[in-house]
Each structure stands twice: as structure tokens, then as C-alpha cells.
Amino acid sequence: MDNRKICEKVVVSEQEIDTIVKELANQINTDYAGEEIVFVSILNGSFMFTSDLMKHITLDCHIDFMQVSTYGNSTNTTGNFVVKKDLSFDVTEKNVIIIEDILDTGYTMKNLIEYFKIKKVKSLKIATMIDKPHRRTEEVHADYVGYTMNEELFIVGYGLDYAQKYRNLPYIGVLGEHLH
């Protein structure tokens, strides 16, 4: 299928993503000058963002991956949080930056934050490519945000999926109605 015809509207273009990612990396390089970082990429959605971001990080760093699933909803805030793939390194006393594709209700992130607090990290920050602040049900905020989306739109591409598809698109867009 032609990649350019999948989305009816492009929300963040490939060129915009490139600029955003470089800016975020520069900010992190400045904020953590002289420090070491463990980046924890949350699979599957953040694989592309992580890869692009890491190319511009000039600090000493480790890169690790986690995969989690959540079954939370607005009426069940203590819902299940399952770690499907755990960390490979000990993060005790480390500066950790969690890398996410999108911060929506914040439920996944709230659980991740609790998880890292138990691990007694030195510091914890959150980087997300997309932030949807209007959708938040949990008190969670990201320290590094690529793009803030205030519209009520479901987006795909650049790691984000619809039923596991379209993660490979190099841009972020709204799926055409005919593809739902």
C-alpha cells in the first residue's frame, strides 16, 4: 500500500518530526551534561522515536526496553498493570528517562512511575513524542514533549498503531475512514 495515501490528514510530518527530535535531544544533552542516563523505551510504540532520538544523544547512556500492558479505565483506577518484558539492567541510583510514544490518560505512565520509584532510581524524567493533555485522568506530566495534540483525534504512524498496523509510517497522521 502507498504510505502517502493511508492517512487522510498528516498531523506531524517527517520533516517536523526530524526537527522536534533533534530539539528534544539537545535539551536532554544540556540538562544532563556530565551525567549518565539510562533510557527506557516502552515497546512497541516508542521504538521509532527512541531510535531517532538516540542518534542525537551525546551523553554516556544505556538503552533498555520494557513492554507493559494495562487494563485500566476511568472507573477502575487500580486496574491491572502487567510487565511483559522487564528491564535488563539494574537502575538503582541511575538517572532514568522513560521514552513513550504517547501520553494519553496517563494510566500507563502512572504505573511506570510507581515501578521506578520502587527501584530507587536517582532521578526520573519522562519523554513523550505526543502529549494529549486534554485526555488525562491521572496526575502525570512529561518533562520532554515532542508535540502537544489538543484535538480529539486517533493518530497512527511513527510507532503508533491501529490494531497493530501502520507503526511503520514515517509521519504521524489521522487514519483514513476507509481503513478503520
Site residues, Mg ion (CB under 5 A)? 45
Quickly list DSSP for 82-102: EEEE--SS--TT-EEEEEEEE
β-strands 81-85, 60-70 pairing: antiparallel
Nearer to ligand IMP, 118 or 163 (CB): 163
Residue ranges binding ligand IMP (CB under 6 A) = 45, 70, 101-109, 154-156, 160
Q: Which amino acid is at 104?
A: D
- Least distance (Å) from ligand IMP to the CB of residue 71? 10
Cβ 100 to Mg ion, closest distance in Å?
7
Which of 52, 101, 104, 131 is catalytic? The answer is 104
Which residue, 119 or 135, has its beta carbon nearer to ligand IMP?
135
Q: How many CA atoms lie within 13 A of 29 on its CB side?
A: 13
Nearest approach, Cβ of residue 163 and ligand IMP (Å)? 10
**What is the residue whose three cell numbers read 520532554?**
144
Question: ∠165-170-174 over CA atoms, to 5°?
Answer: 60
Report the partner that residue 108 touches, choosing among Mg ion, ligand IMP, none (CB closer than 5 to 8 A by kind).
ligand IMP
Is 86 annotated as catalytic?
Answer: no
CB closer to ligand IMP out of 71 and 120: 71
User: Can you name the residues that pair with 65 across neighbouring β-strands?
Assistant: 41
3-state helix, strand, coil in the chain (%, to 5): 25, 35, 40
Least distance to ligand IMP from the beta carbon of 154, Å? Answer: 4
- Determine contact, residues 102/160, Cβ cutoff 8 Å: yes
CB nearer to ligand IMP: pick between 46 and 94:
46
Q: Mind telling me the catalytic residues?
A: 104
